[in-house]
Amino acid sequence: MPQSRTRKIVVTAVLSAITIVLGLLPMGGYIPFAGISITILTIPVIIGAVLEGPVVGAGIGLIFGLTSMYQAATAPKSPLDPLFVNPLLSVIPRMLIGPVAWLVWSALKRWKVIGLLAAGFFGSYANTVFVLGALGLIFGKDSRVLEIFGDKVWKALGGVALASGAPEAGVAAVVVLIVTAAYLQFTFGKKKGANL
């Protein structure tokens, strides 16, 4: 039990540190796209959830959300970034990434490769859906949102979810598989760890 708790603390600390460094470096974890910023910061959150459970994932997601809020307040990169000072948009959706990834992984872990790919994909896509959903619900009538997306905000947000969310989720799926398989030394046929 103490070994397990120590490992949870170490994994959380390391992945949180990676999230902070990526989140605070200029362009470190955020890439401006169509008026919003897409991110690779979902990856440490998903890996933490797969390795250590939904609470660890939610904790790293909290760090991700706080770095997002800080960047929005101090160094916005797109016209909509100032809206992310609202924690309902920047923090809460990010805290849900880990639990979603963990649920997918738990359901599919019997098939390790498929489970990791699915956890990476759906964890990352959950971020896209939750953030864009919160943006539409909370700021759908805001002039800055209307200026970028026009009158049909939900249709435009759906397009962004497909255009940016799907590739982002695909990258996350592959990276989560490679990193987690290497860490846990999974065997798949004659291949092991990162050689999957």
What mean pLDDT do residues 28-47 have? Answer: 75
pTM for this model (two decimals): 0.87
- Joined together, the tokens standing for residue 44 give 């440490």
- Please state, in angstroms and rounded to a whole number, the distance separating the CA atoms of residues 185 and 11: 16
b vs e for 45-65, b when ≥16 Cβ sit within 10 Å of the residue's Cβ?
A: bbbbbbbbbbebbbbbbbbbb
- Please state, in angstroms and rounded to a whole number, the distance separating the CA atoms of residues 75 and 64: 16
For 120, the domain range is 2-195
**CATH code (residue 89):** 1.10.1760.20
Q: Which of 69, 83, 71 is closest to 141 using CA atoms?
A: 83
| pLDDT per position as a tens digit, 59-89 | 999 999 999 899 889 888 788 889 999 999 9
- Asked whether the predicted pLDDT for residue 37 surpasses 60, the reply is no
Percent pLDDT > 70 in the chain is: 87
| pLDDT per position as a tens digit, 103-151 | 999 999 999 999 999 999 999 999 999 999 999 999 988 888 888 888 8
